[in-house]
Chains A and B, each alone.
Chain A
Amino acid sequence: MRKSELLVEVAKNIGIKGTINVPDGLWGYGKIKYDEGKCIGCSKCEVNCSEGAISFERIFDLPKIYEAEKSDGSLKKDRIVALIKSLTLKKPKNPINVPELVEGYGNVKIDLDKCIGCGNCQRYCTGKALKVEKILEIGGGN
């Protein structure tokens, strides 16, 4: 049994319900959260996820990035968005398939059932796009 599952079980036994804030320094008690706007598409997370919970897709979700507010615009994909905006082109409607050999774009899909919140993807993430949300659900209402 995973530690988080064991904790939930014991917590339930002492009559606890609801959502628990997990201290920052602890791993293994939350689920990963993905910020598309910060992802640079390096796919290190997929390689380093020990649980096989992350799959890297070669899809550039242009409409989503177009919407994402990002100030520094340092990423390749931001520059494309900036270019589109500066050319006052219409807002793109569809994601784009990223051709092989083109790096720096792409998307991450997360299977939250598999995620154990160990934070390994977060530690390896180049763009700080992945972060374990330090929240544990005990369940059973509030």
Chain B
Amino acid sequence: MSNNRVQKSPKPKIGVFLCDCGNEISRIINTQKINDSLSKENDVIVAEVHRHLCDSHTLKRLRRIVIDNQINSLVIGGCSPQLHLETFSKIFREANINLIGLKMVNIREHCSWVHKDKEKATDKAAALLNGAINKIKASKEIEVVETKVKKAALVIGAGVAGTNAALELAKKGIKTYLVEKNPWIGGVTAQVGMAFPTDDCAYCIGARSERSGIRKCFYRAGLESYPNLEIMTNTTVKSVEGKVGDFRVTIEEYPTFINEDCVSCGICEEVCPIEAPDTFNRGLSKRKAIYKQFEAVPNKYIIDFDACNVCKKCEEVCPEKAIDFSQRPKKHELEVGAIVVATGISEFDPSALTRYGYKKYPQVLTQLDLGRYLDPAGPTKGELSFNDKTPESIVMIQCVGSREKEQNSYCSRLCCMMALKHATLIKKRYPNTKITICYIDIRTTGEGYEDWYDRARDLEVIFMHGKASEVLEKNGKLIVRTEDVMLGEAVELKTDLVVLSAGIESSQETREMAGLLGLELNKDNFIKSLDPKVRGLDTAKWGIFICGGSRGPTDIPESILQANAASSKVSSLLARDKIVNTRVYPIVDNELCDGCEVCQVKCGFSAIEVDKEEKKAKLNRSSCHGCGVCAANCPNNAVQLLNYEDEAIFAEVEGILRTNGDGKKIVGFICSECGYASSDLAGVERFNYPESIHFIDLPCLGRISAIHILKAFEQGAAGVVLVGCMPGRCQYNSGNSPKDNIALAKEVLKKVKLNEKVKLYNFCGAKSHEFAKAMNDFATIVASN
């Protein structure tokens, strides 16, 4: 569809409407004069000036004129498009009128509010309108795509985040599939035992009934019989196709070799001759090859086929004939409208850091190991006992694999609290055990978190400031080599048990799922959110959300908050019957495209990829954000961004520079995001800058190629200024593309000493004063020789 040559749009019939904005515009700009000249332009059917275009009567009149005159393109000169483009779009959309082009020219914030010289400002407004009319004639029509929304959701991972998200979605009446790789639900949360900050067990969830309490253990919450919720354990996601509103997901269910007749009597377990490491207890204890897992869903036995020797003794003794060795993996197809990735975290494996002796000395544990030992379902039934002895002293080492350049440079956020929690629990039960925590910083940020630090101090836990360097064994005792920063000396601590507060990493499943879904990882190896500030639960793929550990180290309360928020995001998406994609998008000319992959390399959203067989670039419109970085970098010029085609940009430049008698005009390229906001707000604040600066708005500066800049000079521009978002805050991940293209243009212009007359600025709304100052400075540079 988008790979075909777009048909030349029908002959433009343009309506031009100018707004006086009371007299906010006409005070400076002679709109009547401009109108008189524009009405003589080719293809302009109607040209009118109005006092207020945005009032409801005028809007209706505007629509009437468009219908009566069969106008198919509209140029509106008035305030900022950021303010009112939607107002105008809406009146036509509501009446099912498809305009080929609708362009607003900002003759208020970009003209009358920032300029004083009436004549020059009028000339500038006229030039901008000329540019817009030229552009609208050269650009092609966008095809709007509608997707019917599948009213179902998939949640991947049944840890605390996934389970809560799925439950909330089910409560909203959305059919929800909760897919979990393990035979149990609860993830890491089910393994940690007691939780901070509440000092109770970790695995509860918002209660099913408001009548009885506010929370329930996972096993009491009735999740399995919850309406609209389908929990699929032992299941993994194999492929995801389609787009927002309409994903097709293939999942594979591994056999448990137990059918639904199992009543959990346990006779099979007694006769099973095979012992295997208990993965739930992190391999710290053994279980049989046929076993029932704590928090298993369904609440039945399961056979660990990797360990099983298929002696079939279980089959012989099972009174319910529930054992079925004929089971094979089963594939299912799901159709969902949205996906939540909640594949969670894992603990950093400290055996990589041999100096700490993990896996070398049995009395060196991690915090999660210790959590299992302290849990009644753990290897020692909750007793802190090794070789029948309770440790007399414990040393905890913080920041193992965190805040280290060689491992993970980020703070794992949970380990300080885990150490405080475990130290407190142990001190309460074994008051004579001496506990020392070797730390760099203790970080307790959260409601009630600092109380744990105070509690640990009150219980005489020793805090030793300094990073432990090594764990050794001497005469059957462990020695921790560390420094005491307070005393400024190296110390050796003799101890029975060492607990490493190992950092938190993304789980393997999180990384695998990112690969499968085509999602980028951030520098910490978690799934990258669309925006770290305002779109923290969205991903670059529309309709796929993240919550909990898949997006960073997250504790239980925060995971639940994120899960609830993600479910709300999903439900607002699924509340629609159809999703309408009106974003601009690139088209690929198959006759010109050879499949060189430059577009694929440059796209920040993996939205355009080369089909290896066909050797043609293919666009996934639902992933495309419409920045045009592909078009700006296509060596064969086979990719063009609709509405911002090369021809359209050239035409707008030409239109603006047509009346460039004195050769002083400066062409500005401005992104429609933060860059534009700085210019708008400069207008609102009435900051003055020279009338010579004429802006052309683009979705993103990523659309700019060196040629656009050079073309402006070819057409007689005195300078080219580019205004974009703040460094690192480009909304389109267009990366360095604008910088590189600007650099190339400057390299070319250096030959004729014009390179100083091209400049890139990066601003956001709050930098409107800097914007205005920069425009003044730039105009001065351009005016000087």
A residues within 8 Å of B by Cβ? 1-4, 6-7, 10-11, 13-18, 20-29, 48, 50-51, 116-120, 123, 138
- With A10-B714, A50-B615, A118-B596 known as contacts, the answer to whether A2 contacts B636 (CB < 8 A) is yes
Contact with A along B451-494 (1 / 0, CB 8 A): 00000000000000000000000000000000000000000000
A116 near B747 with CB under 8 A, answer: no
Q: At the interface, yes or no: B91 with Cβ under 8 Å from chain A?
A: no
Q: At the interface, yes or no: B713 with Cβ under 8 Å from chain A?
A: yes
B714 near A13 with CB under 8 A, answer: yes
- With A7-B707, A20-B747, A26-B740 known as contacts, the answer to whether A14 contacts B633 (CB < 8 A) is no
- With A50-B595, A123-B601 known as contacts, the answer to whether A117 contacts B744 (CB < 8 A) is no
- With A3-B636, A4-B635, A118-B635 known as contacts, the answer to whether A27 contacts B752 (CB < 8 A) is no
- With A7-B710, A116-B635 known as contacts, the answer to whether A23 contacts B751 (CB < 8 A) is no
Bound CA–CA A21/B748 (angstroms): 8
Q: At the interface, yes or no: B643 with Cβ under 8 Å from chain A?
A: no
Task: Kindly identify, within residues 720 to 753 of chain B, every residue whose CB is under 8 Å from any CB belonging to chain A.
Answer: 735-737, 739-741, 743-744, 747-749, 751-752
A22 near B744 with CB under 8 A, answer: yes
B748 near A11 with CB under 8 A, answer: yes
B747 near A22 with CB under 8 A, answer: yes
Partner of A27, one of B595, B633, B713, B735: B633
- Which B residues are CB-close (under 8 A) to A26? 633, 706, 740-741, 744
- 27 sampled A-B residue pairs with Cβ under 8 A: A2-B635, A2-B636, A3-B707, A10-B710, A10-B711, A10-B714, A11-B710, A13-B714, A14-B713, A14-B749, A16-B748, A20-B751, A23-B740, A23-B743, A25-B736, A25-B739, A26-B633, A26-B706, A26-B741, A26-B744, A28-B634, A28-B635, A50-B597, A51-B594, A51-B596, A116-B596, A120-B597
Bound CA–CA A24/B743 (angstroms): 10
- Which A residues are CB-close (under 8 A) to B748? 7, 11, 16, 20, 138
Q: At the interface, yes or no: B598 with Cβ under 8 Å from chain A?
A: yes
Q: Which of B598, B714, B739, B749 has the most CB of A within 10 A?
A: B598
- With A23-B743, A28-B634 known as contacts, the answer to whether A118 contacts B751 (CB < 8 A) is no
A123 near B597 with CB under 8 A, answer: yes
B747 near A21 with CB under 8 A, answer: yes
- Which B residues are CB-close (under 8 A) to A10? 707, 710-711, 714
Chain B proximity of A128: nearest CB distance (Å): 17
Question: Which residue of chain A lies nearest to B750 when distances are taken between CB atoms in the complex?
Answer: A20
Chain B proximity of A59: nearest CB distance (Å): 26
Chain B proximity of A115: nearest CB distance (Å): 10
Contact with A along B500-542 (1 / 0, CB 8 A): 0000000000000000000000000000000000000000000
Closest 6 CB pairs of A and B: A28-B635, A118-B596, A50-B594, A50-B596, A25-B740, A23-B740
- With A25-B736, A28-B598, A28-B635 known as contacts, the answer to whether A14 contacts B744 (CB < 8 A) is no
Q: At the interface, yes or no: B762 with Cβ under 8 Å from chain A?
A: no
Contact with A along B632-661 (1 / 0, CB 8 A): 011111000000000000000000000000
Bound CA–CA A7/B748 (angstroms): 9
Chain A proximity of B545: nearest CB distance (Å): 32
Bound CA–CA A7/B745 (angstroms): 9
Bound CA–CA A113/B702 (angstroms): 29
Interface size class of B (residues with CB under 8 A): 20 to 34
- Which A residues are CB-close (under 8 A) to B597? 48, 50, 118, 120, 123
Chain B proximity of A19: nearest CB distance (Å): 9
Q: Which of B714, B737, B751 has the most CB of A within 10 A?
A: B751
Bound CA–CA A17/B752 (angstroms): 9
B596 near A25 with CB under 8 A, answer: no
Bound CA–CA A20/B751 (angstroms): 9
Task: Kindly identify, within residues 649 to 684 of chain B, every residue whose CB is under 8 Å from any CB belonging to chain A.
Answer: none
Chain A proximity of B129: nearest CB distance (Å): 25
Bound CA–CA A120/B749 (angstroms): 28
Q: At the interface, yes or no: B31 with Cβ under 8 Å from chain A?
A: no
Partner of A3, one of B705, B735, B736: B705
- Which B residues are CB-close (under 8 A) to A25? 735-737, 739-740
Other than A22-B744, A25-B737, A51-B594, give 6 A-B pairs with Cβ distance below 8 A.
A7-B710, A21-B747, A23-B740, A28-B635, A29-B744, A138-B751
A120 near B744 with CB under 8 A, answer: no
A15 near B752 with CB under 8 A, answer: yes
- Which B residues are CB-close (under 8 A) to A16? 748-749, 751-752
- Which B residues are CB-close (under 8 A) to A24? 740
Chain B proximity of A43: nearest CB distance (Å): 16
Chain A proximity of B420: nearest CB distance (Å): 47
- Which A residues are CB-close (under 8 A) to B633? 26-28
B752 near A14 with CB under 8 A, answer: yes
Bound CA–CA A50/B751 (angstroms): 33
- With A22-B747, A27-B598, A28-B598 known as contacts, the answer to whether A116 contacts B636 (CB < 8 A) is yes
Question: Which residue of chain A lies nearest to B595 when distances are taken between CB atoms in the complex?
Answer: A50
Question: Which residue of chain B lies nearest to A49 when distances are taken between CB atoms in the complex?
Answer: B596
- Which A residues are CB-close (under 8 A) to B706? 7, 26
- Which A residues are CB-close (under 8 A) to B598? 27-28, 118-120
- Which B residues are CB-close (under 8 A) to A4? 635
- Which A residues are CB-close (under 8 A) to B749? 14, 16
- Which A residues are CB-close (under 8 A) to B743? 23
- Which B residues are CB-close (under 8 A) to A28? 598, 633-636
Chain B proximity of A9: nearest CB distance (Å): 9
Bound CA–CA A64/B478 (angstroms): 62
Chain A proximity of B154: nearest CB distance (Å): 34
Bound CA–CA A3/B142 (angstroms): 24
Question: Which residue of chain A lies nearest to B746 when distances are taken between CB atoms in the complex?
Answer: A23
Bound CA–CA A26/B610 (angstroms): 19
Bound CA–CA A29/B737 (angstroms): 14
Chain B proximity of A53: nearest CB distance (Å): 10
